[in-house]
């Protein structure tokens, strides 16, 4: 999962959990609070009623006087003496019966009496009564007061607030996700920028650097370290480039000189034969050195380069052109060449390098062939990839050597002993070209029968 998504997920989850906890606290606190106020109200009312009752009793008046009625007319109230005899019932208590539960806590009794019977401005939902039972001592006499007040049922209210809280949670979750996604994006934006710039730096743009924000945060430090690495990379790259250019010039100039003077000597028809033969051996050696230097520098350049000059062309046409160049040689060696090429087979690749690859492969197939042997070439498209097989008859490559044929200067023992020429770099160059194209190369060989090189390139082009 991308870091951006991960940050979003974690921040949202943490935010959601904390707001759920907060909501639950608020919700339950909200459920309890109204009753606490009611409890206080009922307690005060109970004391008022008992005081009034005591006064009525003391004055000897009839119990249930005007004052008592007045104080109790909004309440359901029953007053008992210590023995449990009913002393007074309010108007509501005379009409409605509510169960008496002794206990210290209040309790709710539901009825089906519409609430607007008590409060004219309320709706006709069924009323519930919040009951309290108190024991109140006055002037040494104990009274028991059961007092209650009609309240609207809080179930509806609770559901309502639960729905409110739920939707608020949903909304805050959405906001959290959106905001944290944006924030994560903002935080990670420099990282993405670094990523993009690093990917952009190739052999041709080595001087590019990641711009520093200068705020010395972790990301800035990362960018600075990367820049330091790019500095070292650029340095060694330039050094190598310099070396190749210098080596090119310094090696090739004396080689040219050597070659020209040797040619000049060979022009002399009066040379004694042994001298001439020695000169010819020298020319051979010189050509080998030239070839070696050329291949070595070619390989150095290939090792350094990362980019290709890709065009779209027909691989099979290129193969035909290269094979055409070798045709007289094939005739001379009496080698049979057969090919099975799959249509046009258009590829998107560096044509010059592909040509070089094919030349080296065919050169190899001819060089290490047997007299009157055979070379087979096959190409086919295979699931978006292009497969090229060049196979030749010949002594073959031992299993132990098969992995090493692509190594620099590696030559099989059999080929070392006979004078096959070659620089020992041909297949290394082929491998590098294939790798530059993102492909792979494999070798298969059967002793004294066949050797086959299979190149797989992911550069097929539609159409």
Nearer residue to other proteins within complex by CB, 112 or 264? 264
Q: Which of 102, 120, 267, 270 binds other proteins (CB under 8 A)?
A: 267
Nearer residue to other proteins within complex by CB, 84 or 328? 328
CA 429 – CA 291 distance, rounded (Å): 13
CB atoms within 10 A of CB 224: 15
- Residue 236 CB, nearest distance to other proteins (Å)? 18
Q: Which of 47, 117, 333, 380 binds other proteins (CB under 8 A)?
A: 333
Residue count, binding to other proteins (CB under 8 A): 50
SS (H, E, C) 138-154: ECCEEEEEEEEEEEECH
> Does residue 426 touch other proteins according to CB under 8 A?
yes
Q: Which helix (H) or strand (E) holds 436?
A: helix 426-436
Range in contact with other proteins (rule: CB under 8 A) among 123-131, 184-192, 330-338, 368-376: 330-338
> Does residue 311 touch other proteins according to CB under 8 A?
no
- Residue 249 CB, nearest distance to other proteins (Å)? 4
Contact set for other proteins, span 228-247 (CB under 8 A): 244-245
Range in contact with other proteins (rule: CB under 8 A) among 104-112, 136-144, 186-194, 253-261: 253-261
Task: Identify the bridge partners of residue 143 per DSSP, sorted by sequence position.
Answer: 81, 136
> Does residue 307 touch other proteins according to CB under 8 A?
no
Per-residue string for binding with other proteins, 276-305, x by CB under 8 A?
xx--x--xx--xx-xx--x--xx--x----
- Residue 261 CB, nearest distance to other proteins (Å)? 6
Range in contact with other proteins (rule: CB under 8 A) among 24-32, 127-135, 217-225, 263-271: 263-271
Q: Which of 366, 377, 430, 457 binds other proteins (CB under 8 A)?
A: 366
Here the tokens at position 291 are 């070839």
Per-residue string for binding with other proteins, 47-76, x by CB under 8 A?
------------------------------
449 phi and psi angles, rounded to 5 deg = -140, -85
Q: Which of 253, 285, 312, 338 binds other proteins (CB under 8 A)?
A: 253
Give the three-class secondary structure for 392. Answer: strand
Q: What ranges in 201-314 are assigned the alpha helix state H?
A: 218-266, 273-304
Edge-to-edge strand list for the sheet holding 76-81 = 86-89, 76-81, 141-152, 126-138, 107-114
Single out the residue of 32, 119, 129, 40 nearest to residue 77, CA to CA.
129
Going through 268-415 in order, the beta strands assigned E by DSSP cover 310-314, 336-340, 346-350, 374-382, 385-393
- Residue 444 CB, nearest distance to other proteins (Å)? 23
Single out the residue of 199, 186, 89, 223 nearest to residue 144, CA to CA.
89
- Residue 337 CB, nearest distance to other proteins (Å)? 15
Nearer residue to other proteins within complex by CB, 75 or 406? 406
Contact between residue 378 and residue 388 where contact means Cβ atoms under 8 Å apart: yes
Task: Please give the biggest Cα pair distance in the chain.
Answer: 167
Single out the residue of 94, 59, 101 nearest to residue 77, CA to CA.
94
- Residue 317 CB, nearest distance to other proteins (Å)? 17
Q: Which of 264, 334, 400, 463 binds other proteins (CB under 8 A)?
A: 264
Q: Which of 39, 363, 407, 444 binds other proteins (CB under 8 A)?
A: 363
- Residue 279 CB, nearest distance to other proteins (Å)? 8
- Residue 331 CB, nearest distance to other proteins (Å)? 7
Question: How close are the terminal C-alpha atoms of the chain, in Å?
Answer: 37
The conformational region for residue 14 under phi > 0 = left, psi -120 to 50 = alpha, else beta, is: alpha
Nearer residue to other proteins within complex by CB, 208 or 355? 355
> Does residue 32 touch other proteins according to CB under 8 A?
no
Single out the residue of 306, 303, 311 nearest to residue 205, CA to CA.
306
Range in contact with other proteins (rule: CB under 8 A) among 131-139, 177-185, 268-276, 378-386: 268-276
> Does residue 255 touch other proteins according to CB under 8 A?
yes
432 phi and psi angles, rounded to 5 deg = -65, -40
Nearer residue to other proteins within complex by CB, 186 or 288? 288
CA 13 – CA 301 distance, rounded (Å): 54
Q: Which of 16, 100, 251, 452 binds other proteins (CB under 8 A)?
A: 251
Q: Which helix (H) or strand (E) holds 131?
A: strand 126-138
CA 315 – CA 324 distance, rounded (Å): 14
Contact between residue 421 and residue 441 where contact means Cβ atoms under 8 Å apart: no
Single out the residue of 401, 415, 413, 314 nearest to residue 363, CA to CA.
415
Q: Name the site residues for other proteins (rule: CB under 8 A).
A: 244-245, 248-249, 251-261, 263-264, 266-267, 269, 273, 276-277, 280, 283-284, 287-288, 290-291, 294, 297-298, 301, 325, 328-329, 331-333, 355-356, 359, 363, 366-367, 421-423, 426
């Amino acid at each position: 999962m991308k870091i951006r998504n991960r940050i979003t997920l974690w921040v949202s989850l943490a935010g959601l959990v904390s707001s759920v906890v907060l909501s639950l606290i608020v919700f339950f606190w909200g459920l309890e609070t109204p009753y606490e106020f009611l409890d206080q109200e009922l307690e005060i009312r109970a004391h008022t009623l008992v005081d009034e009752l005591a006064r009525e009793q003391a004055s000897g008046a009839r119990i249930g006087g005007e004052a008592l009625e007045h104080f109790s007319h909004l309440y359901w109230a029953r007053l008992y003496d210590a023995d449990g005899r009913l002393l007074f019932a309010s108007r509501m208590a005379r009409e409605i019966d509510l169960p008496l539960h002794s206990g210290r806590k209040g309790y709710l009794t539901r009825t089906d009496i519409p609430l607007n019977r008590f409060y004219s401005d309320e709706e006709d939902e069924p009323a519930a009564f919040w009951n309290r039972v108190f024991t109140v001592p006055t002037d040494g006499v104990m009274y028991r007061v059961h007092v209650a007040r009609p309240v609207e049922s809080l179930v509806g209210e609770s559901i309502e607030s639960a729905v409110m809280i739920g939707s608020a949670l949903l909304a805050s979750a959405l906001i959290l996700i959106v905001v944290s996604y944006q924030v994560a994006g903002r935080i990670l934006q420099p990282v993405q920028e670094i990523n993009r710039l690093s990917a952009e730096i190739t052999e041709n743009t080595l001087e590019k650097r990641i711009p520093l924000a200068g705020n010395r945060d972790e990301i800035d430090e990362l960018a600075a370290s990367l820049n330091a690495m790019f500095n070292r990379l650029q340095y060694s790259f330039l050094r190598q480039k310099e070396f190749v250019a210098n080596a090119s010039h310094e090696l090739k100039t004396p080689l040219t000189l050597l070659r020209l003077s040797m040619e000049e000597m060979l022009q002399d028809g009066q040379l004694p034969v042994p001298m001439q033969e020695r000169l010819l051996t020298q020319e051979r050696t010189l050509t080998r050195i030239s070839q070696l230097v050329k291949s070595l520098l070619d390989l150095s350049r290939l090792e350094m380069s990362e980019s290709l000059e890709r065009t779209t062309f027909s691989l099979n046409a290129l193969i035909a052109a290269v094979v055409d160049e070798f045709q007289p040689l094939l005739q001379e060696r009496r080698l049979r060449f057969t090919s099975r090429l799959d249509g046009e087979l258009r590829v998107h690749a560096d044509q010059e390098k592909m040509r070089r690859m094919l030349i080296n492969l065919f050169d190899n197939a001819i060089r290490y062939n047997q007299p009157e042997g055979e070379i087979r070439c096959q190409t086919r498209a295979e699931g978006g990839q292009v497969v090229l097989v060049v196979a030749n008859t010949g002594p073959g490559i031992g299993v132990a050597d098969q992995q090493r044929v692509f190594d620099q200067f590696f030559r099989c023992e059999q080929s070392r002993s006979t004078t096959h020429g070659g620089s020992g770099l041909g297949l290394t160059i082929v491998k590098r070209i294939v790798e530059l194209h993102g492909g792979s190369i494999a070798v298969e060989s059967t002793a004294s029968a066949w050797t086959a090189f299979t190149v797989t390139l992911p550069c097929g082009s539609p159409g």
